[in-house]
Amino acid sequence: MKNLPLGIQHFDQLIENGCLYVDKTPLIGQLVRQCRTVSLSRPRRFGKSLLLSTIAQLYMGKKEFFAGLWAENNWDWSKTYPIVHFYMDRTGFMEKGLVRGLVDGLKEIADSYNISLQEDLPGSRLK
């Protein structure tokens, strides 16, 4: 019996903790094939963060998280993409402030891709 993923918004944590996951990867596959731009406007606690986290893991090529899911055999794992994904609950912006949280978050993302950032403002760092 698997645990319910109460309060878990990150796909990697959900899988690593062996939680129940209803496979939405066929719908994600359809979404990325058919849509160019997507707007997710749903109420709070409706799975937006988990969906985006799942998509990020797919594009980063984290095949090990998708064992037994549709994407395991139907996603092109030979292509990976750099992902800029802010987890607002992980940036510490409540303690640091929004700008410092974004700057630090961008630095962590850049470091993960071995990119050196010289600018200190979020807009400049995104460029």
Which range in 36-40, 44-48, 67-71, 102-106 is most confidently predicted, on average pLDDT?
A: 67-71
Kindly state the average pLDDT of the residues 63-84. Answer: 95
48 CB neighbour count, 10 Å cutoff = 14
At residue 86, does pLDDT exceed 80?
Answer: no
Choose among 64, 50, 65, 38: nearest CA to 10. 50
Q: Are residues 92 and 70 in the same domain?
A: no
Q: Are residues 124 and 68 in the same domain?
A: no
75, 65 Cβ separation under 8 angstroms: no
Give 99's contacts (C-beta < 8 A, 6+ positions apart).
Answer: 121, 122
Q: Are residues 68 and 92 in the same domain?
A: no
CA distance 51 to 45: 12
pLDDT tier for residue 100 given thresholds of 50, 70 and 90: confident
Q: Are residues 59 and 42 in the same domain?
A: yes
Q: What is the number of domains present in the chain? A: 2
Q: What is the pLDDT of residue 122?
A: 79
The predicted-structure confidence for 30-45, as pLDDT tens digits, reads as follows: 999 999 998 888 888 7
Q: Are residues 89 and 107 in the same domain?
A: yes
Q: Are residues 68 and 94 in the same domain?
A: no
CA distance 24 to 66: 11
Range of the domain at 127: 84-127
